[in-house]
Amino acid sequence: MSKPKLGVFKFASCDGCQLSLLDCEDELLTVAGAVQIAFFPEASREYMEGPYDLTLVEGSITTPHDLEAIKEIRAQSKFLITIGACATAGGIQALRNWKDVTEFTRYVYAHPEYISTLETSTPVADHVAVDFELRGCPINKWQLIEVVNAFLHGRKPNIPSYSVCVECKRRGTACVMVAQGIPCLGPVTQAGCGALCPAYNRGCYGCFGPMESPNVLALGEWWRSMGVDDRALVNALRGFNAYAEPFREASDVYAQQA
Chain positions contacting other proteins, by CB under 8 A: 10-17, 19-20, 22-23, 25-26, 28-29, 32, 37, 40-47, 59, 62-63, 65-66, 91-93, 95-96, 99, 101, 103-105, 107-111, 114-117, 121, 137-138, 193, 196-197, 199-202, 205, 207, 232, 235, 240
Residue 5 is given by DSSP the state: E
132-134 vs 36-39, strand pairing mode: unpaired
**Residue 38 phi, psi dihedral angles, 5° rounding:** -95, -30
- CA 107, chain centre distance (Å): 26
Spatial separation of the C-alpha atoms in residues 241 and 258, rounded to whole Å: 20
| Distance in Å, CB of 213 to other proteins, minimum | 26
Nearer to other proteins, 1 or 107 (CB): 107
Residues 149, 164, 98: CA angle, nearest 5 degrees: 95
Min CB(156)–other proteins separation in Å: 26
**Least distance between other proteins and beta carbon 61 (Å):** 9
User: In this complex, which beta carbon is closest to other proteins, that of residue 124 or of residue 193?
Assistant: 193
Distance, in Å, from the CA atom of 3 to the CA atom of 176, rounded to the nearest integer, reads: 47
Q: Which residue, 62 or 77, has its beta carbon nearer to other proteins?
A: 62
Smallest separation (angstroms) from other proteins to the CB of 211: 19
Measured from the CB atom, the residue of 11 and 223 that comes closer to other proteins is 11
Contacts of 136 by beta carbon, 8 Å cutoff, 6+ apart: 17, 84, 85, 143, 192, 193, 207, 208, 209
Smallest distance from the beta carbon of 25 to other proteins, in angstroms?
Answer: 4
Nearer to other proteins, 40 or 151 (CB): 40
Closest by CA to 15, choosing from 86, 104, 98, is: 86
